[in-house]
């Protein structure tokens, strides 16, 4: 037999699983999760944790929600999957119609894929080919410092420079980057920084001596993995105004911000802007199944309406528009309607919590909708690899919380099922945690 072991040996990590985002040597044994319900997950050793970050930002309505589970079960007994070229099915059509109704303006053509990274790949490819289809050569994308758009090659290319992608640098296509004008509560320099970035963008887009720009890609209002860095609605409006005036495409990556996270159903809705392409995943199925969409505006789609095979978008995945995923997403959208008071009011609770933080121990408190974040003051360099992050990770479990800090940044992005009691436990546990680790 090869090394097909059946379980963990000597209490260490499983011998056959290669875990993501994990340094292998010296890794801590992953905690085995045996169940979840509402905002809690249950561990094999009997402990339960409040999931303060909706796992990897996916569980909108809490774990194992029966409404979604039942919708998947019903769909599985009808049609689990079918090829989506030359064939179609009701869940995919209903979901596309529902999304186009929920999204602003003419964002109405839904292209299915599997996860956040693929939704970004699709957006980049559509944007690039859009210009080819209208007989223009536009070889450059603009993106933001500190961005994270996923782990596939296109998504890595438009992501910010990072130690995670450094080893692949020579394989990534070249992208021009702009500073991200992040802000926080009590910061009065945001307007000036935004104006500088927008002016830089305007000048770049107007410069005909440089390669033409196919599109600008941004995580609207919140840069997630880059440290929960937040910008104002005004900046997003400025970005739309300038890209529109210059006639280039705006791609909004709402993989994380979609489905209520910013306090409105979508960040673009909160800011009152309509991008040319939008990427959605994570919360799309309420955290049940991997599914993603890239939704194109009418203008973009029309450039592909042709009998010419060279104008066809030759892209697709085996599990494109998986009916189970679509059924889960439709059920999740139904719950989202009911959850609107929860996600639109969460910002006020977060804001009151941020006021309770000791400014001697923390800095840059910030909040946008259901996402709150702050940085723990540290004697280290700060950022993703600051060791205060490890100290936080170790102690969160003792507080009964699932929190995964981004270096010295602690953030919340809880499911909308969070009860008042769980919310208080999350805040109180975090205040204790900060007092214990700050300055380490």
Ligand X SMILES: Cc1ncc(COP(=O)(O)O)c(C=O)c1O
Binding positions for ligand X, rule: CB under 6 A: 115-117, 120, 148-150, 219, 224-225, 253, 255-256, 281
Q: Which residue is nearest to ligand X (CB)?
A: 116
Question: Minimal distance in Å, beta carbon 216 to ligand X?
Answer: 15
Coil vs helix vs strand at 371: strand
Question: Minimal distance in Å, beta carbon 2 to ligand X?
Answer: 30
Cα 70 from Cα 92, distance rounded (Å)? 18
Beta-strand (E) ranges in 301-406?
Answer: 362-368, 371-376, 401-402
197 vs 222, beta carbon nearer ligand X:
222
249 vs 434, beta carbon nearer ligand X:
249
Q: Which residues contact 186 (CB under 8 A, 6 or more apart)?
A: 365
Of 397, 283, 359, nearest to 48 (Cα)? 397
Question: Minimal distance in Å, beta carbon 417 to ligand X?
Answer: 21
219 vs 276, beta carbon nearer ligand X:
219
* Structural contact between residues 349 and 342, judged by C-beta atoms closer than 8 angstroms: no
117 vs 248, beta carbon nearer ligand X:
117
* Structural contact between residues 255 and 120, judged by C-beta atoms closer than 8 angstroms: yes
Question: Minimal distance in Å, beta carbon 310 to ligand X?
Answer: 29
Cα 109 from Cα 124, distance rounded (Å)? 15
113 vs 129, beta carbon nearer ligand X:
113
205 vs 291, beta carbon nearer ligand X:
291
Question: Minimal distance in Å, beta carbon 406 to ligand X?
Answer: 11
Task: Provide the angle, in degrees to the nearest 10, between the axes of the packed helices 323-355 and 90-102.
Answer: 30
Distances (CA, A) of 1 to 6, 13, 14, 16, 433: 12, 20, 17, 13, 47
Question: Minimal distance in Å, beta carbon 225 to ligand X?
Answer: 5
């Amino acid at each position: 037999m090869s090394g097909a072991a059946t379980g963990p040996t000597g209490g260490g990590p499983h011998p056959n699983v290669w875990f993501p985002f994990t340094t292998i040597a010296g890794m801590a044994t992953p905690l085995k999760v045996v169940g979840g319900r509402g905002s809690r997950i249950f561990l094999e050793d009997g402990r339960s944790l409040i999931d303060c970050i909706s796992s990897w930002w996916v569980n909108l309505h809490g774990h194992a929600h029966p409404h979604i589970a039942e919708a998947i079960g019903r769909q599985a007994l009808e049609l689990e999957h079918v090829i989506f070229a030359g064939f179609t099915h009701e869940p995919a059509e209903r979901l596309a119609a529902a999304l186009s109704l929920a999204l602003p303006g003419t964002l109405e053509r839904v292209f299915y894929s599997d996860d956040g990274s693929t939704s970004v790949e699709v957006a980049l490819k559509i944007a690039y080919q859009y210009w080819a289809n209208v007989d223009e050569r536009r070889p450059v994308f603009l993106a933001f410092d500190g961005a994270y758009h996923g782990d596939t090659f296109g998504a890595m290319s438009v992501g910010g420079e990072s130690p995670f992608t450094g080893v692949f640098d020579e394989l990534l296509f070249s992208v021009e980057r702009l500073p991200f004008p992040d802000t926080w509560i009590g910061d009065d320099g945001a307007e000036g920084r935004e104006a500088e970035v927008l002016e830089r963008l305007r000048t770049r887009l107007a410069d005909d001596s440089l390669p033409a720009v196919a599109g600008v890609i941004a995580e609207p209002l919140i840069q997630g993995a880059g440290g929960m860095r937040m910008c104002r609605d005004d900046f997003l409006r400025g970005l739309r105004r300038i890209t529109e005036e210059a006639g280039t495409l705006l791609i909004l990556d709402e993989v994380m911000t979609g489905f209520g996270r910013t306090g409105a159903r979508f960040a673009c809705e909160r800011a009152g802007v309509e991008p040319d392409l939008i990427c959605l995943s994570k919360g799309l199925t309420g955290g049940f199944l991997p599914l993603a969409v890239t939704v194109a505006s009418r203008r973009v789609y029309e450039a592909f309406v042709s009998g010419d095979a060279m104008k066809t978008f030759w892209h697709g995945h085996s599990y494109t528009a998986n009916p189970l995923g679509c059924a889960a997403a439709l059920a999740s959208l139904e719950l989202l309607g009911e959850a609107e008071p929860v996600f639109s009011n969460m910002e006020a609770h977060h804001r009151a919590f941020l006021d309770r933080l000791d400014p001697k121990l923390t800095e840059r408190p910030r909040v946008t909708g259901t996402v709150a974040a702050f940085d723990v003051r540290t004697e280290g360099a700060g950022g993703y690899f600051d060791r205060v992050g490890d100290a936080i990770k170790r102690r969160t479990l003792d507080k009964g919380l699932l929190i995964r800090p981004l270096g010295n940044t602690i953030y919340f992005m809880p499911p909308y099922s969070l009860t008042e009691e769980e919310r208080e436990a999350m805040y109180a546990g975090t205040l204790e945690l900060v007092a214990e680790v700050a300055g380490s």
